[in-house]
Structure formats: C-alpha cells, structure tokens
Amino acid sequence: MASTNLGSVQRAADLIRAYITETPVLSSASISQEIGDDIKVFMKCECFQRTGSFKFRGALNAILSYEIENGPIKSVVTHSSGNHGKALALAARARGIVAHVVMPEDAPQVKKDAVRDAGGKVVLVPNNYEARKRAAKQIQEREGALLIHSSHDHRVMSGQGTLALEFLAQVARQGEALDVIVCPVGGGGLVAGVARAVEGLAAAGLLPGGGPVAVVGAEP
C-alpha cells in the first residue's frame, strides 16, 4: 500500500520543482524576543506560493505522480471551500486537464471567483460535508475524474512535505538549524507530510545540524 515517507516526499520535490515557487524564509526579531531570549523564529512564507498557499504543492504532486504511475488523466475533482480547490484548478490547468471543484453555495464570492480564475469548473451545493462529498462522487463517476482529497491522499501529503525539505535547507544556508517546526492544522495533510519528511531525514542522519527536530501541529 502506498504511503507518505521520505522517499515519496523527495520524489515529489523533483516532480513539482519546475512549477512551484521556492518561497522565502524570514526571521522576526520582535517575535523571537517576545517568545524568549534564546529563541529565533523563522517563518516559511507560503503566502508567496502560487495560489497563495502550500496547497499547490500537494495538488500538483497528486496529478503529476498519478500520471507517471497510471497514464494520462482526463479530469480531476475535489470538494473544497477555497484553497485546495484553487490549487487543484491551477495544477490541472498546468497539465491541460479539467478540474471540477465542488464548493458550498454560500462560500465567499471571492473564493468562487478565485477557483474559476484558476481554470476550475465550480459546482455549488448546500453547505454540508455529505452534500459536497456526494456531489464529488457523482462527478467522479460521470466524468471518469480522479478524486483528489485535500488531505486524505498520500500524494497530496507527500507534496506538502516538500515544504519541510525546502525550509530546513534554507535555514541551514543561513548558518542555522531548526529544532521545532510548527504547522497549522486543518485537515492535517501539511503536518503529516512535514512529520514524515522530518522522520525520514532523522532516521537517515540527514537533518541539518544533526537534529533532533520536533514537528508540532497548531490549530489556527
């Protein structure tokens, strides 16, 4: 059974490198001082990633890795209230395929427009999880589309995990080493991918500075 591990994250990094932005790492003296005198805080600014979030990494890797393993894709489908849908729409457009994005009908108009601007076909349904899930399943069956969940997909998690490889290397180039990575947690795909990448690097003795590095999830 396929899973997320260091190897899958490294393969994802190779696959998506030509499409993504290596987002900057910034440090904040004021935040560091507020936390403690011996603490230095680094921020991985994925707000500068294409589509404005880390979600593009996972969506893109899901499509590219599936194509390598199984051949061409006709279309993809997901249900999302915003960021994953926009990311999948842009990733699909980059590969010349159709993306169907099921969204709650009361989602902010700016989010609906963002998905459409990225090339996605928006399908509106009542704002409840079962309705979104059912609509996505119907499109999957009718269109022969590949269903790509925002977090419950090992390819998506591997793509999100590439952030950890990048972050650790960038901080190391500044002559520093991370000892804790704090990830926001929604569906859990980011923190899972980062944790598996860090776990694999630690097991192989490849953590910059020698480690250890803790991975912590924080619900926004």
- Does the active-site annotation cover 74? no
Which residue in the list 55, 86, 111, 112 is annotated as catalytic?
55
CA dist list (Å): 71 to 67, 129, 134? 5, 31, 26
For position 82, what pLDDT does the model report? 85
Which residue in the list 81, 121, 133, 137 is annotated as catalytic?
81
- Does the active-site annotation cover 30? no
Domains of the chain: 6-53+154-218 (3.40.50.1100), 54-147 (3.40.50.1100)
Strand partners, 141: none
For position 211, what pLDDT does the model report? 83
- Pairing type for strands 42-44 and 25-27 reads antiparallel
Structure tokens at 201: 């690097």
- Tally the C-alpha atoms within 13 A of residue 160's C-alpha that lie toward its C-beta: 28
pLDDT tens series, the chain, 220 aa? 578 999 999 999 999 999 999 999 999 888 888 888 788 999 999 999 999 999 999 999 999 999 999 999 999 999 998 899 999 999 999 999 999 999 999 999 999 999 999 999 999 999 999 999 999 999 999 999 999 999 999 999 999 999 999 999 999 999 999 999 999 999 999 999 999 999 999 999 999 989 899 999 998 7
What is the sign, positive or negative, of the torsion defined by CA atoms of 206, 208, 211, 212?
A: negative
Using DSSP, state whether 152 is helix, strand or coil.
coil
Helix (H) or strand (E) holding 75: strand 75-79
- d(CA 179, CA 119) in angstroms, rounded, equals 40
For position 112, what pLDDT does the model report? 96
